[in-house]
Chains A and B, each alone.
Chain A
Amino acid sequence: MNVVKGLYYSEDHEWVKVEGGKAKVGVSDHAAHQLGDIVYLELPEVGAELSAGDVFGVIESVKAASDSYSPVSGVVTAVNEELADGPEAINSDPYESWIFELELSDASELEGLMTAEAYEAFIAE
């Protein structure tokens, strides 16, 4: 399973890429494999206020719909519409496929997430 360095990871297999005060969120290669071929993606609304642990949307594979959780809190500043039109990109390129971006309201939350090394150990269990 591919795990990209420099990103933070949650126990629900999301990755977080921090750029200044903003964070982009996607799902890991491990998650993409678990889900299978993704056919539908429900994005949050721009302007939505999310708390860490809130459901931000749904990722659907052929077989099932799965709630997806935001690993951090903040206000949604952008969503990847292009990805919503071609959600299978999550399977082929999970780390390029950011789902939404938000303005972090509490950067200290990042300390509760895993580093790439910790995540690699986590998924190896």
Chain B
Amino acid sequence: MSELKRTSLYESHLKAGGKIVEFAGWEMPIQYEGLVAEHEAVRNNVGIFDVSHMGEVSVKGKDAEKFVNNLVTNDVSLLNPNQIAYAMMCNENGGVVDDLLNYKYSEDHYFLVINASNVDKDFAWMQKQAAGFDVELVNLSDSMSEIAVQGPKAQELLQRLTDTNLDEIAFFYFKEGVKVCGLDTIVSRTGYTGEDGFEVYMSHEAAPVIWEALLKEGQDLGVKPTGLGCRDTLRFEAGLPLYGNEFDDNISPLEAGLGFFVKLDSPFIGSDVLVKQKAEGLARKTVGLEMVDRGVPRHGYEVAVNGEVIGHIATGYTSPTLGRTIANALIDAKYSEMGTEVDVLIRGKAAKAKVVSKRFYTKQYKK
């Protein structure tokens, strides 16, 4: 068994009382003070996440934009320089290889941010798909650290550590060469929580300095270190998907309900399958569920109607912010109408649930 990796902030996590668990081959903090307290801190004040385990790939060359456009579901040719697009990479069957953020520096230079759990798979896939394109791919994952600062007070906190006017970084835009604590960083107004906030990329040496400064400077703002536990509950409430839950290599972006990020008129690997799926009508759809009976519907639990399994739970929680027990489920499209009653099989027993809107939490982005 290969050794687990540690980010540059491992000691900082221990210092902050982090409970370390294994995640995607890394030793990461699942929580510090407690999941609900951290979740609420992000919704009400500001939380800081170590996301250094994420992967980064640079794409440079004459065909950079053409390559990326062929690779991902969104149309990145529509991006301005310094703008970012969220998209998925599909395989030839229309299933999702991974979701990612695509940072456009220029038509010749892209910066792709991918999931920690898929770094090796994604990079190998990208290299394979680069054949025939004049591009150079570099896996930067091991050389970059990253901290996400998220919450209504995120900008106020980060502004205290930089002279760059953060108002100049609009939603889904980034700026490089931003000095935070005097150290070089890339800052984007992006995040995975449904709140306003930033993702800051820096060197391994800079990360602990910036982390400690954020905790120190943010005391009066209620800053808390926030772990992977609340990262999942926050993104779930905000309707943001997780590879392995809402989609995977056998679930298409359309089945996952992410058609907004799929531009079928700008062809990409797998788009022919998705065009067909759209034309024929989806056999499976992702719906929101709310429990009627008691019980917590968790990832992988089966969904049934009249004793027949019709799908499964992608993600489910008793939502800390909303106080409702809710889930996303991928089910037979026949049962996807609002109000449809279904059963969630929890430890062998059927617990009643009903189909509701997937829009659980209203996102508070600063657009």
Contacts and interface: CB of A to CB of B under 8 A. Distances in A.
Given A39-B318, A62-B233, 18 more contacts: A36-B31, A36-B34, A36-B36, A37-B34, A37-B35, A37-B36, A37-B320, A39-B325, A40-B294, A40-B295, A40-B296, A42-B347, A62-B36, A62-B229, A62-B318, A62-B320, A63-B30, A65-B296
Contacts of A101: none
Interface string B278-296: 0000000000000000111
Contact of A40 (B31, B229, B233, B318): B318
Interface string B32-60: 00111000000000000000000000000
Interface residues of B, number: 16
Contacts of B34: 36-37
A42 B318 CA distance: 15
Interface of B: 30-31, 34-36, 229, 233, 294-296, 298, 317-318, 320, 325, 347
A63 B320 CA distance: 11
Contacts of A58: 347
Contacts, number: 33
A62 B298 CA distance: 10
Contacts of B35: 36-37, 61-63
Interface SS, A side? strand
A60 interface: yes
Interface residues of A, number: 12
A61 B37 CA distance: 13
22 contacts: A36-B34, A36-B229, A37-B34, A37-B35, A37-B36, A37-B320, A39-B296, A39-B325, A40-B294, A40-B295, A42-B347, A58-B347, A60-B296, A61-B35, A62-B35, A62-B36, A62-B233, A62-B318, A63-B30, A63-B35, A63-B229, A65-B298
